[in-house]
C-alpha cells in the first residue's frame, strides 16, 4: 500500500492517513492517539485500516480484538501480528509501513522491507505518485523498478513535462 499523509482530508483516491477520529471516506485511515473514545470511533468507522500512536500494548490488543478485519498500524511500538503492523520512520531496519516526510527520507528506506508507504502530501506531488503506482513512469537507474524505486528516482520529471 502506498498512500499519502495529510493533516486534514484532501481530495485523492490514494489511501490517506489523517489525524482524525472518524473515517469519513473509504480511502481515509484515521490516525489516533491514546484517547479511548477516539480509538473506538475510528475502529467503528474504519474501512480498511486504523493507525494508532501509542506505547500501550493493551490499546493495540483491544483494537485488534474489536476489529480483527482491519489493519492496525502501530506508531510507537515494535509490535506485529496477523493484522497488526508497525508504522515506522525512515532509517529503521525493520519490515513494516513507513511514514515519509521528504524525498531524502525516502532514499533511506530499503524497498524490500517496506510493506507500505505513507508520503507527506505537502512534499510529494499526488499526480506523480499515482503515475508511479500505475507503472506509467520509467526510471533510468533500473530495469525492474518497484514502486519505492520509482518514487526515489527522477521519474517525476516526466510528469512535469506532461
Tens of pLDDT along the chain (162 residues) come to 899 999 999 999 999 999 999 999 999 999 999 899 999 999 999 999 999 999 999 999 999 999 999 999 999 998 888 899 999 999 888 899 999 999 889 888 888 888 999 999 998 888 888 877 777 777 766 666 677 777 777 644 444 444
pTM score: 0.86
Instruction: Please provide residue 15's backbone torsions phi and psi, each rounded to the nearest 5 degrees.
Output: -55, 135
103: cell is 524525498
**What does the DSSP 8-state code read for residue 28?**
E
Amino acid at each position: 500500500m502506498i498512500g499519502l499523509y495529510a493533516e486534514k482530508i484532501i481530495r485523492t483516491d490514494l489511501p490517506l492517513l489523517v489525524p482524525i477520529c472518524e473515517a469519513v471516506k473509504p480511502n481515509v485511515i484515521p490516525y489516533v492517539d491514546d484517547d479511548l473514545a477516539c480509538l473506538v470511533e475510528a475502529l467503528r468507522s474504519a474501512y480498511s485500516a486504523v493507525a494508532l500512536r501509542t506505547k500501550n500494548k493493551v490499546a493495540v490488543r483491544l483494537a485488534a480484538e474489536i476489529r480483527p478485519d482491519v489493519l492496525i498500524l502501530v506508531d510507537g511500538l515494535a509490535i506485529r501480528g496477523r493484522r497488526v503492523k508497525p508504522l515506522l520512520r525512515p532509517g529503521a531496519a525493520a519490515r513494516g509501513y513507513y511514514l515519509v516526510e521528504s524525498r531524502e527520507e525516502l532514499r533511506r528506506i530499503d524497498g524490500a522491507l517496506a510493506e507500505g508507504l505513507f508520503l507527506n502530501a505537502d512534499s510529494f506531488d499526488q499526480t506523480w505518485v499515482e503515475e508511479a503506482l500505475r507503472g506509467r513512469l520509467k526510471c533510468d537507474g533500473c530495469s525492474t523498478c518497484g514502486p519505492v524505486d520509482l518514487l526515489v528516482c527522477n521519474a517525476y520529471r516526466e510528469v512535469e513535462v506532461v
